[in-house]
Chains A and B, each alone.
Chain A
Amino acid sequence: MSALDHAKQYWYPVSMLDSIPAFPIVKTTRVLGMDISITRQADGKITVMQGDEQWQVQEIYDHLWTSPSEAPKPIFDIPEANESDRRFVPCGLVRVRCSPLRAVENFLDIAHFPFVHTDILGSEPHTEVEPYSVDIDADKDEVIATKVKFFQPQAAKSASDGIITDYVYRVPSPMNAILYKTCPTRDDVQDVIAIFVQPIDEETCDVWPWMALYDDDSTMADMIEFQQLIFLQDRSILENQVPTKLPLDPKMEIPTRADLTSIAYRRWLKRRGALYGALLNTSDNSVAAE
């Protein structure tokens, strides 16, 4: 199966539900190198067309999702999306000139916090990443990183002081990642932050950050701005990574212990043949998955 055919099996976010214009205005975007148009029909139903072909759609997690497949794999579950006392915060898109897989990998990395998100998600000299665990959840076939701990000067908009933040990371499909982190204002629950990545092509993506938080004080503008600020800091780094695609050959980039999640993610991609946006060998990217 080609990298593109493999990628076609999944659902992709293509718009916030709130920003789909009223009939008859058509919104256009691109998925996996294909131009699509999004229309809210007169009866309110949303359709996605790629040329003459109609794609399936579903409305979930505050976004419109579509898939080129006639029988796509079921979309991953975020149970916390049903907890009505959370505040759901879709943050709009950010265009990044990098592989969609690079965007996911960056989201899974904590070692960069003190250097890229200085005085927010990390600070010097608190740069050490303590040992943590990474597994593949056999039932769901997801990458899971647990027991991740990090000192954060301002873990969220609602945090007033530095705290040790606990993290759990989930990668439920190649281009989506979800994290659960200490909620600064409540001990009994965790905040949820996700990135849903729309692959424009193999070297360009639109990232749709989404949050489900317990925060009764911050305004929507404050919460969105906080997340955008963080992601814009990442964007500068992502656009300067070379090569643009994510290398899966372990010889190409030398990982350290802090990169366990990234190693597991790359192996998991390789094993399942999720090679859209990946570089398998330095010289040849057409080789099929093992």
Chain B
Amino acid sequence: MSFTLYDYALSGNCYKIRLFANILNIDYERIAVEFYPGADHRSEKMLAISPAGTLPILTTDDIVLSETSAMLFWIARNYDAPDHWWPEQDLTAQANILQWMGFSSDLTATIGQGRLHALFQTPIDKDKMIKGGRAALRKIEAHLSEQSFDGCSFLTGNKPTIADIACFPYVALSPDVGANIGFDHDDYPAIRNWIYAMKSLDGFIPMPGIYAMHELKDHEIDYGSQKSAKAGASK
């Protein structure tokens, strides 16, 4: 049984579901909703589908989900995803995953809201957003550093889980919020490595602000041999 996704291409939360579905190679029906400027997600028609008035919405004949964490969990279980996405037998791992999925709401409330303001001038408490966003980035940077000391590339282990999918978009999109507010990735080497790890997953897809890695992968520059080629040409 497949599902319908009420979607908005520019939303980081919607992107979580598109990304995970693509990684698992799941076909689904996508319906674009005009989040901006029309605010159609709050139209009577959409509120009748999901009273939460948010995007994305995942529906089947049986369920209507408006929380992305619930959607990721449902997709992982329903489509029999490889065990690492939701480790069925590992209670500790599950608890850690839920911990980070809760944290992903902080990212939406800070960086996600800040990005909407930066793009569309939606009203916002800017100071609070910047303070909260910085704290969130520092927290995830510190954690990912510790993970790397243990030889782990992802939030809860050496394989990605739905917690990584939940936290990835708004961390990756943070530079979109603005310059000189501590949201650039330059200061966060562990976050940068994690972003590369996420972009290297089979089935990764981009969205505006989160680009594929081809600039690093396809054009491997061998500075050493370039130098020697130049020297050869000057002879």
A235 on the B face (CB < 8 A): yes
Which residues of chain B are near A160, meaning CB under 8 Å? none
Query: How many residues on the A side are at the interface (Cβ–Cβ under 8 A)?
Result: 25
When chains A and B are docked, how far (Å) is the Cα of A91 from the Cα of B9?
Answer: 14
| Residue from B34, B118, B208 in contact with A233 in the complex, judged by beta carbons closer than 8 Å | B208
Asked if A232 and B208 sit within 8 Å, CB to CB, the answer is: yes
Give A218-243 interface residues, CB cut-off 8 Å to B: 219-222, 224-225, 228-229, 232-233, 235-236, 239
User: Distance (Å) between the CB of B6 and the closest chain A CB?
Assistant: 10
A94 on the B face (CB < 8 A): yes
B36 on the A face (CB < 8 A): yes
Which residues of chain A are near B91, meaning CB under 8 Å? none
* CB-CB nearest in chain B for A157: B32
When chains A and B are docked, how far (Å) is the Cα of A16 from the Cα of B38?
Answer: 11
B141 on the A face (CB < 8 A): no
| Given A94-B119, A236-B209, A221 contacting B37 (CB threshold 8 A) | no
14 other A-B residue contacts (CB within 8 Å) besides A92-B36, A95-B118? A16-B37, A91-B37, A95-B119, A95-B120, A95-B121, A206-B121, A221-B32, A224-B38, A225-B32, A228-B10, A232-B10, A232-B209, A236-B176, A236-B208
* CB-CB nearest in chain B for A236: B209
8 contacts between A and B (CB under 8 A): A93-B120, A94-B120, A224-B34, A229-B10, A232-B209, A235-B208, A236-B209, A239-B179
Q: Which residues does B use to contact A, with CB under 8 Å?
A: 8-10, 32-34, 36-38, 40, 118-121, 176, 178-179, 208-209, 211-212
Interface residue SS majority, chain B: loop
A97 on the B face (CB < 8 A): yes
| Residue from B34, B37, B118, B209 in contact with A19 in the complex, judged by beta carbons closer than 8 Å | B37
> 7 closest A-B pairs (Cβ-Cβ)?
A92-B37, A232-B208, A221-B34, A221-B32, A225-B32, A229-B9, A225-B9
Which residues of chain A are near B36, meaning CB under 8 Å? 92, 228
When chains A and B are docked, how far (Å) is the Cα of A102 from the Cα of B161?
Answer: 41
| Residue from A94, A97, A228, A239 in contact with B9 in the complex, judged by beta carbons closer than 8 Å | A228
